[in-house]
Amino acid sequence: MLSRQMRELAEVINHKPDMECVLIVGSFLDQCLAALLRRYFVKSETADNFLSFKKGNLGEFASRIKMCYCLGLITKEMLKNLETIGKIRNFFGHTHLSLDFSNSDIKKSCDELTFPKIHEIVNGDGSAPFAQVHGSRNRFTTISFMLASRLLLTGLATTHRERLKQGWE
């Protein structure tokens, strides 16, 4: 299922118009964060309600990002990138105008996105691994895909917290 979801995300990233791309990628990352938190929390109806989009305290993208960071599930760099992607998603989602990656506010926000620091790796020509990623959309989609992969893989390696079994019982 995981590989199918990533293939579907790659299809959106590569072939959908800018607005669709941003909104779907934002939603996908939101669901990745919810899945990661669900894997971390104690299995319970309370945890499910907490993450509910309609009524939960962690039903929003920004809240999920911050909680994942506070629990040590994502790095500070991932936190900043996810917050920036949320800002970009809001640009697209809260306008009646047609936007694309050539918009100056969108371009500026995409420039704030950072690639992982991979010091030991160089391409065959000696260049940095992400030197060939040009343009706001490519930067947005590459970093988003990398974030989604990292969140999903972290989720696979995460286990539920155990419920306390002593004290009040």
Residues 15-44: pLDDT tens digits?
999 999 999 999 999 999 999 999 999 988
pTM check: above 0.85:
yes
The architecture CATH gives domain 2-156: Up-down Bundle (1.20)
C-alpha 139 chain-centroid distance: 14
CB 157 within 8 A of CB 150: no
CA dist list (Å): 15 to 12, 20, 42, 107, 169: 5, 10, 38, 19, 55
Whole-angstrom distance, CA of residue 52 vs CA of residue 84: 23
The pLDDT, as a whole number, for residue 111 is 93
The pLDDT, as a whole number, for residue 14 is 87
Structure tokens at 145: 């895909």
Evaluate if residue 8 carries a pLDDT over 70.
Answer: yes
**Cβ neighbours of 157 (radius 10 Å):** 7
Q: What is the pLDDT of residues 112-153, one digit of tens each?
A: 999 887 655 555 565 566 656 688 998 999 999 999 999 999
The pLDDT, as a whole number, for residue 122 is 56
Q: What is the pLDDT of residues 95-104, one digit of tens each?
A: 877 899 999 9
Residue 142 buriedness (CB in 10 A; 0-12 / 13-18 / 19+): middle
The pLDDT, as a whole number, for residue 129 is 62
Residue ranges of domains in the chain? 2-156
